[in-house]
A and B are shown apart, each in its own frame.
Chain A
Amino acid sequence: MTLQEGAAIVDVLDSPPAKNRRSLRGTGKIGDILLRVVAGLVLLYIFIPIFVIVLFSFNKPAGKFNYTWQGFTLDNWADPFKYPALAEALKLSIQVAALSTAIAVVLGTLLAIALVRQRFRGNKAVDTFLVLPLTAPEVVMGASLLTLFLDLGWATGFTTILIAHVAFEISFVAMTVRARVRGFDWTLEDASMDLGASPARTFFKVTLPLIVPGIVAAAMLSFALSLDDFIVTYFVSGSTVTYPLYVNAATKAAVPPQIDVLATAILVISLILLAVGTLYRRKRLVV
């Protein structure tokens, strides 16, 4: 997921769903069919590469590059971590994603709550400031961070990757949490305190349960952004290799089918998480 994809998702989260919308009619029958056909074709276009990735994860490549179809095999799936460097890279990416998400969620959530609850001077300016990281192309963001680290004389590696990821995640976390907690009835907190709860108890019993769904959504988005980031990471990684960096290096030397296997596996795991999340929300009827 690239930063702009994240922005598009935040955009959807930020808009309230329309209520019980019935389908529109009357574009004229032929126009209607034509429209649906075009939409179907566009959807198909979106899916072609995904089919190819899943298909090629079962390929038995002849040479070093898994680019042409040779024959069906389950070997790749039987041994997804055949290449230790790929496994290491994936492990490192997951570490970076988890750590950076943890930091960004704390900083971003505090910011979001402050923005929703308190009207202060400069509120609007903070809003604009939050959007700025989305308007800079990633290549410039990566380059600017690299010049900072050069200025400071810091060696690039795990820490600088972590710093960079937190930097682009904060905005997403803050905007996602804000989108979800906007419109909550904050007087519930006053009610809790009036009934004798301590501020800490109020926070854990009232505030936190209200904002948790927003935080979970933000954390998932942030994790996905970090796991997939290539461009910014490329600039600040030094000799450290994350999963996307491994994939990029592979395109120059050898593309094993395990890349497609892991991509498919990540896709399936995300879908399961998403499905579980949706079911859980339906059950609890929260947000």
Chain B
Amino acid sequence: MTATPVARAAAAPGRSAGDRGDVARLPGALGTGLALGRLEVRAFFRERQTVVFVFALPVILLVMLGSIFGHEVTGHGISVGAVFAAGMIAGGAAAASFQNLGLNIAAERDRGVLKRLRGTPMAPAAYFIGKVILVLVCVVAEVAVLMAVGVAFYHLHLPSSAGRWWTLAWVLGLGTVACSLAGIAISSLPRSGTNAGPVIMLPFVVLQFISGVYVPFNDVPPWLQHIAALFPLKWMSQGLRSVFLPSAAAALEPAHSWQLGDVALVLAAWIAGGLVLCLKTFRWLPRRDG
């Protein structure tokens, strides 16, 4: 250690205050958020555990389910592989948003990262902009990989019209926002970082079973279908089936139609509710800090 940096640092304030007027500007939320987003993405892909559990798991499950059941064809001439692929794309998007943010923010809160950020002049919005970028990159990459695997091996067809691409975009867009907000909200629930896994993963795995991700939705018992209909994942996977399956497959849905209007409504309701919940419950300090 030498004294030089302090001497240099001590000289700087006078200079910069003179240059920029009396009050130096606080960095804006957007610029800081974009910088945070870059670091978020880097940190995500450096941590093997999150890459495996959040990113690789849906791909592995698609390969497993697709290899076991994917070459069957339903009575309506629809490839089961494509049904799984469509569901897994919904599940992957939810993993990259809900599960990713839930675990990530719970860990950051537990390790005191949020507390430290809260002690700086960082604009709070910057933190969330960083998370938006993280989720955006993860969801786009996850969906791209799952689509590529589905097309290559499991009879998935890319959307056949501009209308279907548009449906893909808005279902994934609304679904990702709804899942992200739910993830941020649920991150406050675990009492510690080590509890976060079970608290977040258990409901997520159950939802994937009953929402048409691991099991085709028309094979799910009606009473579980009704429970699934309360959550966004069922509507995301239904919306994505409308994108990737032939129109005739709508007959297999419980309502015998894709119900895209309802998909939009339910996802929008989750976004509104999730936003209120996040604003009311988000905490920067660990729960043990009172």
A and B part of one assembly: no
List B residues at the A interface (Cβ < 8 Å): none
A residues sitting closer than 8 Å to B (CB atoms) are none
